[in-house]
A and B are shown apart, each in its own frame.
Chain A
Amino acid sequence: MSQLPLTELEVVYDALAEAINQVGTEQESLFLTKLVLLLANQVGNQAQVEQAIHTALLDLQ
């Protein structure tokens, strides 16, 4: 699996934070769900997406 170089990860980090601020709490979940569907389609691999869902469920507390 390809990985983002740190500089690019930092840009994505900022862009996502700003987008979440921009949409506001009410639309936040919808926005994030759309984002996941778009990225899932780009990944093009069911197992990788399911693994990412599983990983994101860890350590939420």
Chain B
Amino acid sequence: MYIPDNTPRHSVYYDYQIYPFRTPPELNGEAKRYPVVIVGAGPIGLVTALELASYGTPVVVISAEVQVSHGSRAIVFTRRSMEILQQVGIAERMLEKAYPWRSGNSIYRGQRVFRLEAPYDEDDRFQPLNNLQQQYVEQYLVEQAQQNPLIELRWGSKVIGVTSLLDHAEVQIDTPEGEYSLSCDWLIAADGAKSTIRQELGLRMEGASYSGRFVIADIKIDIPWPTERLAYFDPDWNRGNTILMHRQPEGIWRLDYQLPPNETPEQALAPESLHTRIQAQLDMVGISAPWELDWCSVYSARAMTLPDYVHERIIFTGDAAHMLPIFGVRGANTGFQDAQNLAWKLAMLLKGVGTPELLATYSSERVIAAREIIAEASKSTRFMTPPDRGYRLLRDAVLSLSLTQAFVRPLFHWRTSRPHDYHETPLNALNDDNGQFTAGSAQGMPLQNIRLAANDYLFDHLGAAFHLLYFTNQTVPESLLQQVAELEQQGIPLKILTIGKGQALADSDGHFAKRYDAQTGTAYLIRPDQHVCARWKNLTAEQLKAAIYRALGQGAK
């Protein structure tokens, strides 16, 4: 019998709400086959659920917990994540509370040796980075899911075993009222870095663990500084190590600092040790305000991924699929892209319009993305926490030179999470005009947002479907409209958005067309996850049909 902890977690700023366990039909002797079961009600599991529901796919979400995340955990959300979270309906609510920002500073011996502004495009709705505690993000996602009749949330239900079969999966669940078994067509493991399902299947991750361990501590304190990333290298009170400071809403600051080697997490989290070190950091930066601790934890930097995210009927996503160092805000931000990539492919497969080959590209696209992120993250990690004598000497030499030598300062670049470019995916069209464009997002890239008017952006008009952006100052050719209607009749969600003077998306000054290198007849085909899969200078009905079929995995055979 599994009894979840029903005591609301402690926090100085966040009121935890309990989502009680409810008796599922299986414990009343009813059994049925579910199309999709998601294990894990963290940000990635919930975004996957909301995305799947947006395509009409019913989902059961299983969580061992009965409340949202303990502590702030993921606090920095990228522009791309905000675009994804807009799709699931919580971006606006997040922005009411979040702190947007774009500047990062590296400080050595009291001197700011490097400052980087993340690029901001005037056509973007969202700022490059947005700070908000994970509890709020999870709460907003839970409330969004509760309102969705296609999503069933099962709290206080712990997965104790899984069986993967050729045509379905079975999951054994322990609850306060006993055990039961669920049968589903697809099981999604969004159960985090310590994934029970990954361990049950005995799957090994590839990559590296780094020896450096960090304390994360959230404190409530009044510091009159703007929202920027602050990285302190080799401070007097913690020689050789790195300290990060991030501002969060509700008067909370995050401090990350590296543990001395040979110290255990228990020693590092002892109240006296925490207090001394946090005070030392505050003293160093000249802050004398009173503070209190909200939450703390220890993490180690890992850069690992499963080599394949789809195992028969079990699919891995988020931290269950890969573990990434958090220095570049890569955990949740990478996971959201997984969720968005997976959801439409699985939904199309369940609708009968996508192929198994389409689902296989979830794994191929996202594993390549994870490996690219790992390569980047590993560079940052080697600089932040040098793993051995050679890397430490080079890092220390760069620190020392950075006080006077500008040429080493770009080595402090903190390489923030950025969306992957699927330029090699078999879902991209074969014979389109991709190479002929001089502007706009190329095949595989996420779509560039466009500011259409005050508080009106291109992405506001994108839903759970393929979108054909069609540029014209006249009318859409009848043959194209017929083709779109024919594809829709086959169950393929496809919407045509016309762009131009007097069109659905008005482009009176030609700004949109210019950024997309478009003339009348130009078209971009956008996947449901907002990546471009084809673009043409002058689209024909036949080309559209071929590109859609290919994007549904018929060309991946």
A residues in contact (CB < 8 Å) with B: 29-30, 33-34, 37-38, 41
Contact partners of B458 in chain A: CB under 8 A = none
The proximity string for B residues 398-425 relative to A, scoring 1 for CB distances below 8 Å and 0 otherwise, is 1011000101100000000000000000
Interface members, chain B 254-268 (any A CB < 8 Å):
none
Report the minimum CB–CB distance from A41 to chain B (whole Å): 5
Residue contact B393 to A37, C-beta cutoff 8 Å = no
Residue contact B401 to A38, C-beta cutoff 8 Å = yes
Residue contact B393 to A29, C-beta cutoff 8 Å = yes
Residue contact B393 to A33, C-beta cutoff 8 Å = yes
Residue contact B407 to A33, C-beta cutoff 8 Å = no
Known: A30-B400, A34-B401. A41 touches B393 (CB 8 A): no
Residue contact A30 to B397, C-beta cutoff 8 Å = yes
Instruction: With CB as the reference atom, state the residue of chain A lying closest to B405.
Output: A38
Contact partners of B401 in chain A: CB under 8 A = 34, 37-38
Contact partners of B405 in chain A: CB under 8 A = 38, 41
- B394 interface hit (Cβ, 8 Å): yes
List 12 A–B pairs whose Cβ atoms lie within 8 Å, in order of A's numbering: A29-B393, A30-B393, A30-B396, A30-B397, A30-B400, A33-B394, A34-B400, A34-B401, A37-B401, A38-B401, A38-B405, A41-B405
CA separation between A33 and B408, bound complex, in Å?
A: 13
CA separation between A37 and B399, bound complex, in Å?
A: 12
CA separation between A38 and B401, bound complex, in Å?
A: 8
Since A33-B396, A33-B397, A34-B401 are in contact, a sample of 4 more A-B pairs with Cβ atoms closer than 8 Å, ordered by chain A residue number, is A29-B393, A37-B394, A38-B401, A38-B405
Report the minimum CB–CB distance from A53 to chain B (whole Å): 12
Residue contact B396 to A37, C-beta cutoff 8 Å = no
Size of B's binding interface in residues, CB under 8 A:
10
CA separation between A38 and B405, bound complex, in Å?
A: 9
CA separation between A30 and B401, bound complex, in Å?
A: 11
Main DSSP-derived SS at the B contact region: helix
CA separation between A41 and B397, bound complex, in Å?
A: 13
Instruction: With CB as the reference atom, state the residue of chain B lying closest to A33.
Output: B397
Interface members, chain B 359-416 (any A CB < 8 Å):
393-394, 396-398, 400-401, 405, 407-408
Contact partners of A34 in chain B: CB under 8 A = 397, 400-401
Report the minimum CB–CB distance from A56 to chain B (whole Å): 14
CA separation between A41 and B398, bound complex, in Å?
A: 12
CA separation between A37 and B406, bound complex, in Å?
A: 12
Contact partners of A29 in chain B: CB under 8 A = 393
Report the minimum CB–CB distance from A37 to chain B (whole Å): 6
Nearest first, the 10 A-B pairs at minimum CB distance are A33-B397, A34-B397, A33-B393, A41-B407, A29-B393, A34-B401, A30-B396, A37-B397, A34-B400, A30-B397
Contact partners of A30 in chain B: CB under 8 A = 393, 396-397, 400
Among B393, B396, B397, B400, residue most surrounded by chain A Cβ atoms (within 10 Å): B397
Contact partners of B393 in chain A: CB under 8 A = 29-30, 33
Instruction: With CB as the reference atom, state the residue of chain B lying closest to A37.
Output: B397
Instruction: With CB as the reference atom, state the residue of chain A lying closest to B390.
Output: A33
Instruction: With CB as the reference atom, state the residue of chain A lying closest to B411.
Output: A37
Instruction: With CB as the reference atom, state the residue of chain A lying closest to B395.
Output: A33
CA separation between A24 and B407, bound complex, in Å?
A: 27
The proximity string for B residues 265-302 relative to A, scoring 1 for CB distances below 8 Å and 0 otherwise, is 00000000000000000000000000000000000000
Instruction: With CB as the reference atom, state the residue of chain A lying closest to B400.
Output: A34
Instruction: With CB as the reference atom, state the residue of chain B lying closest to A36.
Output: B397
Report the minimum CB–CB distance from B382 to chain A (whole Å): 15
Interface members, chain B 220-245 (any A CB < 8 Å):
none
CA separation between A23 and B143, bound complex, in Å?
A: 63
CA separation between A37 and B398, bound complex, in Å?
A: 8
CA separation between A34 and B400, bound complex, in Å?
A: 8
CA separation between A38 and B394, bound complex, in Å?
A: 12
CA separation between A33 and B405, bound complex, in Å?
A: 14
CA separation between A34 and B401, bound complex, in Å?
A: 7
Interface members, chain B 430-484 (any A CB < 8 Å):
none
CA separation between A34 and B408, bound complex, in Å?
A: 10
Report the minimum CB–CB distance from B452 to chain A (whole Å): 46
CA separation between A15 and B405, bound complex, in Å?
A: 21
Instruction: With CB as the reference atom, state the residue of chain B lying closest to A40.
Output: B407
Report the minimum CB–CB distance from A27 to chain B (whole Å): 10
CA separation between A37 and B121, bound complex, in Å?
A: 35
Report the minimum CB–CB distance from B394 to chain A (whole Å): 6
Contact partners of B398 in chain A: CB under 8 A = 37
Among A29, A37, A41, residue most surrounded by chain B Cβ atoms (within 10 Å): A37
CA separation between A17 and B457, bound complex, in Å?
A: 65
Report the minimum CB–CB distance from B388 to chain A (whole Å): 13
Report the minimum CB–CB distance from A49 to chain B (whole Å): 13
Report the minimum CB–CB distance from B25 to chain A (whole Å): 65
CA separation between A24 and B156, bound complex, in Å?
A: 62
Report the minimum CB–CB distance from B3 to chain A (whole Å): 56
CA separation between A37 and B405, bound complex, in Å?
A: 10
CA separation between A33 and B398, bound complex, in Å?
A: 9
Contact partners of A38 in chain B: CB under 8 A = 401, 405
Contact partners of A37 in chain B: CB under 8 A = 394, 397-398, 401, 408
CA separation between A29 and B396, bound complex, in Å?
A: 10
CA separation between A29 and B394, bound complex, in Å?
A: 10
